[in-house]
């Protein structure tokens, strides 16, 4: 009987919330119509109302739809009220206020204004950009304006049905797990309808509680990006004969990427006209993610017609940057790992030639990014650190370098095409990545090479490293619970062979590194994150982690071989034996 009672109670809980939305005077009629259409579909009602979206270190992300588990004006207000209460009770000075930005997605401006209305009503000075802006500019603006926090309405590279809410702290990085938990707790204490403080947007602007910002911040941001330029000499050498095709994938990079390329002296920058049009439906791309080569289909068509040497693509919020390089009559896409290694080598080499490579120079990568970066840094006497996945951790490490004076940051990257140089921001930046990639392409051009050939040169110098990432998407309900359960099952029965014998395991959730040969264990000392990394005999690595923003488990496989073919064969062998780990 007790089990039956619990089931009924849970049923009543989500059903009551569903009915409350339908009867609320706060909820608009269009949303109610959407919800009425769910009548009779118990699974859909449960999925939308059994709980609020989880507010984590990446904020919120989900489908734009009515209900607790959807991105809509009510959940945006709800999250912002919790964020405001955390700010007001955190014990730090909130006088600097909050700055809000948004991307090109459907409803992003609406959600940004709603967030501003709630922050202002809570007595927090609120800045909001006059139009869409790149995510890294929001990170910069938090620091430049002396704000205690920032909000960016974006779902990055996700499909058009998604939107999201990223929360930043005064250092310009996304919230730490502790602060995200404090916001989540504040949300839980608040009623989604009666607990929200809000003023009309126009009233906030007229009263000075909401301050609209624009070009004055743009100019400072782009100036900071330009200050990191290191390839002016090489651009001048080849600019007459070198051309770039750029696409913003209908998003925020449409203005600043062409601007920065012009500033460094690029003379021939073409664009994809259809994709320079701001459109949250992303009508011309199969995926608005420049990490996926299919997104470059239209760009490659134009590049072939124009004879461009390089294609650069930035995602809708302009924090990720992908490329394709002309090699003969075709265009070759490079991965985030390959591009990261090329950039590290370029920055180290050119800075050393120019005499401005710091003696205490340091680079940073995520723990699932290629160890080839470690080899490059080691052979060049540059320190490198590895952080958890999520650029906020790279941002935190940059701040640590500055606070302690231990190292001078020169470059950081994630395998998922996120890059940063300079300390003006604490998030990945496709604007500076575009600039550095263009300069690097000119550097190779001046040496009679393209970047694909440059990568071959790196392999000869540092070793043949290959990497592959596989995403296993979960369909159906409660994907987060199922992913958590699967990770627990793997930990309870660790594999001893994944194509090659497992010689070590790093369990970042439990902060334990295990030597599988001797059985010895020791703390990792990096903190906690739901990631497992298996070190394999013969220079192979397999990492597994559930995504924090999408319903998928990701498998990262890396290997070093005697040749590219040997390394590729090792990667495929590891994948073949590792795919069972993704089954949920």
Q: How far apart are CA 374 and CA 351, in angstroms?
A: 18
Cα dihedral 167, 528, 579, 537 sign: positive
Q: How far apart are CA 247 and CA 285, in angstroms?
A: 11
Is the distance from CB of 167 to CB of 149 less than 8 angstroms?
yes
**Could you confirm whether 51 is annotated as catalytic?**
no
Catalytic residue among 156, 318, 366, 547: 156
Q: DSSP assignment of 331-364, as one string?
A: EEEE-HHHHHHHHHHHHHHHHHHHT---TTEEEE
Q: How far apart are CA 235 and CA 228, in angstroms?
A: 15
Cα atoms found within 13 Å of the Cα of residue 39, Cβ hemisphere only: 6
Q: Which residue has the tokens 């990096």?
A: 526
Is the distance from CB of 126 to CB of 147 less than 8 angstroms?
no
206 three-class SS: helix
Q: Which residue has the tokens 């690595």?
A: 541
Dmax (CA) of the chain: 81
Is the distance from CB of 472 to CB of 555 less than 8 angstroms?
yes
E strand or H helix at 558: strand 552-561
Query: Beta 383-387 vs 330-334: how paired, if at all?
Result: unpaired
Q: How far apart are CA 266 and CA 451, in angstroms?
A: 17
- Tokens describing residue 508: 């970042």
Q: How far apart are CA 422 and CA 425, in angstroms?
A: 7
Residues in the chain: 584
Q: Which residue has the tokens 């007229």?
A: 206
Q: How far apart are CA 214 and CA 133, in angstroms?
A: 9
Q: Tell me, rounded to whole angstroms, the distance of Cα 330 from its chain centroid.
A: 29
Angle made by CA atoms 554, 430, 163, in degrees to the nearest 5: 60
Q: Catalytic residue numbers?
A: 156
């Amino acid at each position: 009987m007790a089990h039956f009672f619990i089931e009924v109670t849970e049923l009543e809980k989500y059903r009551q919330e569903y009915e409350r939305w339908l009867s609320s005077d706060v909820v608009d009629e269009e949303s109610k119509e959407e919800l009425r259409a769910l009548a009779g579909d118990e699974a859909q009602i449960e999925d939308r109302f059994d709980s609020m979206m989880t507010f984590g270190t990446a904020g919120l992300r989900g489908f734009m739809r009515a209900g607790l588990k959807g991105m809509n004006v009510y959940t945006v207000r709800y999250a912002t009220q919790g964020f405001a209460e955390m700010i007001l009770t955190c014990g730090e000075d909130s006088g600097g206020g909050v700055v809000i930005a948004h991307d090109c997605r459907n409803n992003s401006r609406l959600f940004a204004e709603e967030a501003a209305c709630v922050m202002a009503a809570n007595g927090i000075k609120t800045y909001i950009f006059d139009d869409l802006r790149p995510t890294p500019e929001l990170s910069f603006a938090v620091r430049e304006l002396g704000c205690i926090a920032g909000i960016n309405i974006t779902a990055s590279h996700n499909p058009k049905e998604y939107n999201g809410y990223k929360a930043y702290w005064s250092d310009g990085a996304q919230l730490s797990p502790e602060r995200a938990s404090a916001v989540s707790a504040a949300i839980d204490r608040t009623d989604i309808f009666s607990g929200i403080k809000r003023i009309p947007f126009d009233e906030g602007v007229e009263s000075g509680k909401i301050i609209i910002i624009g070009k004055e911040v743009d100019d400072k941001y782009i100036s900071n990006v330009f200050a990191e330029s290191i390839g002016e000499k090489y651009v001048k050498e080849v600019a007459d004969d070198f051309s770039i095709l750029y696409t913003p994938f209908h998003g925020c990079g449409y203005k600043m990427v062409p601007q920065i390329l012009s500033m460094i002296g690029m003379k021939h920058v073409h664009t994809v006209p259809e994709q320079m049009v701001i459109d949250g439906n992303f009508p011309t791309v199969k995926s608005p993610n420049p990490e996926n080569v299919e997104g470059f289909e239209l760009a490659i068509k134009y590049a072939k017609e124009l004879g461009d040497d390089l294609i650069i693509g930035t995602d809708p919020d302009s924090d990720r940057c992908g490329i394709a390089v002309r090699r003969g009559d075709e265009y070759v896409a490079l991965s985030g790992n390959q591009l990261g290694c090329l950039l590290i080598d370029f920055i180290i080499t050119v800075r050393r030639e120019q005499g401005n490579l710091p003696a205490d120079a340091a680079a940073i990568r995520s723990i699932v990014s290629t160890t080839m970066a470690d080899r490059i840094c080691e052979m060049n006497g540059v320190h490198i650190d590895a952080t958890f996945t999520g650029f906020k951790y790279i941002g935190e490490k940059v701040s640590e370098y500055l606070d302690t004076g231990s190292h001078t940051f020169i470059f950081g990257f994630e395998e998922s095409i996120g890059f940063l140089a300079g300390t003006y921001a604490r998030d990945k930046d496709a604007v500076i990545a575009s600039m550095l990639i263009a300069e690097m392409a000119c550097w190779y051009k001046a040496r009679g090479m393209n970047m694909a050939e440059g990568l071959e040169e790196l392999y000869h110098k540092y070793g043949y490293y290959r990497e592959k990432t596989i995403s296993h998407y979960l369909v159906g309900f409660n994907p987060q619970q199922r992913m958590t359960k699967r990770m627990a099952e793997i930990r309870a029965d660790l594999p001893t062979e994944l194509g090659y014998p497992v010689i070590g395991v790093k369990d970042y959730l439990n902060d334990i590194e295990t030597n599988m040969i001797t059985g010895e264990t020791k703390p990792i000392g990096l903190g906690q994150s739901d990631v497992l990394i298996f070190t394999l005999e013969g220079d192979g690595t397999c990492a597994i982690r559930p995504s924090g923003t999408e319903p998928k488990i990701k498998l990262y496989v890396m290997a070093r071989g005697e040749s590219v073919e040997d390394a590729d064969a090792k990667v495929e062998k590891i994948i073949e034996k590792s795919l069972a780990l993704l089954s949920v």
